[in-house]
Structure 1
């Protein structure tokens, strides 16, 4: 919880990307609950095989041009270094997960490289030339079909008589093969969104299709040195209250009262501000801001586990093929491997970090407890046509409202604001943090130096 003083007093609840960038924007107006900040709090520093220290971002925060344009412009303004990063994606399935007493068998069906930088693609161990070639041609046709559809066949959006088309409905309408959806498309989108398959199928189709169209053919980037570099830039000079959790936000006269509890001493405190900006997930907003308690109940969230470990035995055998066939370009970092292993309902993705540790998110298969070095849990906000409707009602003043509490409250009412990855009509990713912070800056008539 950080408070920022300028011409008016402003409290920012939350110190993730949305909270820090909003705090920076307000504090640097040119005309005017943890022991660490949240953006980098789950990350850690590890030693590689050579003994050098490297920062491991949790969760991974790769971004692509086209979709992340606001984020990229902000990084450019601050001089934050980022570089192109290529990835190798082995796609695997668990074949006998439910058989008691037997070790699950992992079958790798294809090894994809981002933007086909590894061409021809690597052939999985145990796959015949004919099987591999057939799979490659099939995937190429399916991928070109979904890309073409994302450009020319737009999802059906909501109107007064119907909700938005879900991705499940859209995939059926464009006749996207179920084998491709289940074994390839949902796993790769699960890696992007950290969501289980059924949740992705219930997303508004426009979210996924828009992301697909904007990132097609665009390079991926990662911040050099990790997002701690971003956190250091944005938090410089801020007045931050560590180990404190907001417990209530409410209007008192013309002011906004923020009440918090110290996690160490158990004591509570409160203060009046001109504005309070909540940069937290919707479940937290529900708990501390009564006017949105029932409206935000329709926005689902899930808890996502991630483990940093060195249990290399659980990696698919395809690594032998990848190690022997991977190609690197001079001046660019080596492609990083992200294993996508799926069962009938979800995908675990295992990132082989260049520092020689492994990060497994949403694990399906067990990890040797003795080899786990770090565990974190983070909250993922999910999307449905109903949650999309409520989000529009809260953040778009032109949208008519007929849902519960959102009739009485819109973003900014009573000088209370919401920012975050979920606070816009789009995929719940870092770009939403920047877009929602820019919206608040515009409403408060604050100039943002990198905004268009």
Structure 2
């Protein structure tokens, strides 16, 4: 008679994309070796918790993703394979990007003025491009030629001139340094490149300039010329698939993760009862942001994990994305097809009577230092330490990290899937859609 492997207990902290997909993978182990419990500090699962249900112009209910969850071929390959496995419907989405600048923003007694300098159609689906109102044919043509040359230059440089990697005591090159080294014009960087990348990363311009250059160049190279997609019906469809039958402890905020003998003790506070509870598990997987990891997991308390917090036929017509910038950040405004206007990082005040729903979310930023520390945690071939504390590697003591920031790349949904697949490999779990 074949021996039956003993079952192991697994706690997963967090129910974003990383937490839910990791929970699904572990629960569906082909050898049925794991009992999974999930802990969520909110009263609902967090992947879709910021989204909003609205009625469109026809009166039909529609789920609006907050933030928008567009993804592109080339970079999001693991995400696309997962969606295909679960039968998640997604379609090509065309976007129109008006680039605007806020003028007179800080001048007393003068109302801010918004000037649109160029309108870009994603993957040039509309050619020639739309001409901004108030722009002459000559100025528009000069701007279009200038942008074409600059974009061709940075694409060529990303292939030929690679960003400098860390070497000894020298950290990896920032995008600010890389842009200067390849002589990328400041006008193009400030008014076009930073706004479009800020829309992708939802972070301020200075923070983006301090990102590792390799992150931005790699993202650009992989998405160049590829289509963008959105999930039909929103990520609530994904959440429903991944969470079916899941054992979730809601209103349970993790406050400490530590090894106790051969086990891992998770301590959490129940916001409903007000009680603090603890339980021993064989494995604990933390699917939370770096600031939470540092707060609940002592071995990484001193680690510099972050740089800062902060269409196919039959599908709708192109959606408009307005990128309005000042000297420090870009306001990302999405004209959703449901007739809702979604604004991220607003620069100018919004009439409170026009606000239907407001949410706040944490954005994990990257720097060369946080990239170095992340590589030390997840890459066993990378040497380093965290100051006075003993170096901890992902999986030590059967404690794991997953999330959008838990890989060497842009902090986006693909990192959630890649880090979950890493845990699956370490636990010897076969993932049906993985290559």
TM-score w.r.t. length of structure 2 = 0.94
- Check whether the contact 1:4–1:10 (CA below 8 A) recurs between aligned residues: no
> Structure 1: where are the runs of 5+ without partners?
294-323
- Check whether the contact 1:394–1:406 (CA below 8 A) recurs between aligned residues: no
| Cα distance per residue 1:160-212 (max 9 Å; x no partner) | 13110100010011110000000000000000000100000000000000000
Give the 3-state SS of the residue equivalent to 2:350 in structure 1: coil
Deviation at 1:158, TM superposition (A): 0.7
Task: Give distance in 2, aligned partners of 1:327 and 1:395.
Answer: 23
- Check whether the contact 1:3–1:240 (CA below 8 A) recurs between aligned residues: no
| Cα distance per residue 1:291-330 (max 9 Å; x no partner) | 110xxxxxxxxxxxxxxxxxxxxxxxxxxxxxx9999874
Q: Counterpart in 2 of 1:447?
A: 430
Change in Cα spacing, 1:135 to 1:411, as seen in structure 2 (3 Å) is: same
Task: Give distance in 1, aligned partners of 2:314 and 2:3.
Answer: 43
Change in Cα spacing, 1:4 to 1:343, as seen in structure 2 (3 Å) is: farther
Change in Cα spacing, 1:6 to 1:186, as seen in structure 2 (3 Å) is: farther
- Check whether the contact 2:299–2:390 (CA below 8 A) recurs between aligned residues: no
Task: Give distance in 2, aligned partners of 1:3 and 1:140.
Answer: 65
Task: Give distance in 1, aligned partners of 2:7 and 2:62.
Answer: 40
- Check whether the contact 1:4–1:239 (CA below 8 A) recurs between aligned residues: no
| Cα distance per residue 1:72-125 (max 9 Å; x no partner) | 000001110000000000000011001123220000000001011110000000
Change in Cα spacing, 1:430 to 1:406, as seen in structure 2 (3 Å) is: farther
Q: Counterpart in 2 of 1:310?
A: none
Change in Cα spacing, 1:34 to 1:374, as seen in structure 2 (3 Å) is: same
Give the 3-state SS of the residue equivalent to 1:404 in structure 2: coil
Task: Give distance in 1, aligned partners of 2:2 and 2:344.
Answer: 30
> Structure 2: where are the runs of 5+ without partners?
33-40, 302-306
Deviation at 1:44, TM superposition (A): 1.0
Change in Cα spacing, 1:329 to 1:82, as seen in structure 2 (3 Å) is: closer
TM-score w.r.t. length of structure 1 = 0.90
Deviation at 1:264, TM superposition (A): 2.2
Matched, 1:411 2:394: yes
| Cα distance per residue 1:269-289 (max 9 Å; x no partner) | 111000000000000001111
Task: Give distance in 2, aligned partners of 1:2 and 1:278.
Answer: 34
Larger CA deviation: 47-56 vs 218-227: 47-56
Give the paired residue count. 422
Of 365, 370, 375 in structure 1, the residue corresponding to residue 353 of structure 2 is: 370
Deviation at 1:52, TM superposition (A): 1.1
Give the 3-state SS of the residue equivalent to 1:54 in structure 2: strand
- Check whether the contact 1:390–1:406 (CA below 8 A) recurs between aligned residues: no
Q: CA RMSD in A?
A: 4.9
Q: Counterpart in 2 of 1:59?
A: 67
Task: Give distance in 2, aligned partners of 1:221 and 1:2.
Answer: 47
Change in Cα spacing, 1:449 to 1:327, as seen in structure 2 (3 Å) is: closer
Matched, 1:327 2:310: yes
Deviation at 1:3, TM superposition (A): 25
Q: Counterpart in 2 of 1:92?
A: 100
Change in Cα spacing, 1:425 to 1:87, as seen in structure 2 (3 Å) is: same
Task: Give distance in 2, aligned partners of 1:276 and 1:22.
Answer: 11
- Check whether the contact 1:67–1:214 (CA below 8 A) recurs between aligned residues: yes
Deviation at 1:51, TM superposition (A): 1.1
Change in Cα spacing, 1:142 to 1:21, as seen in structure 2 (3 Å) is: same
Of 109, 119, 133 in structure 2, the residue corresponding to residue 101 of structure 1 is: 109
Deviation at 1:429, TM superposition (A): 0.2
Change in Cα spacing, 1:256 to 1:144, as seen in structure 2 (3 Å) is: same
- Check whether the contact 1:86–1:335 (CA below 8 A) recurs between aligned residues: yes
Give the 3-state SS of the residue equivalent to 1:338 in structure 2: strand
Deviation at 1:54, TM superposition (A): 0.7
Task: Give distance in 2, aligned partners of 1:2 and 1:102.
Answer: 80
Task: Give distance in 2, aligned partners of 1:178 and 1:2.
Answer: 68
- Check whether the contact 2:207–2:365 (CA below 8 A) recurs between aligned residues: yes
Of 264, 267, 285 in structure 2, the residue corresponding to residue 277 of structure 1 is: 285
- Check whether the contact 2:308–2:365 (CA below 8 A) recurs between aligned residues: no
Task: Give distance in 2, aligned partners of 1:15 and 1:360.
Answer: 24
Q: Counterpart in 2 of 1:355?
A: 338
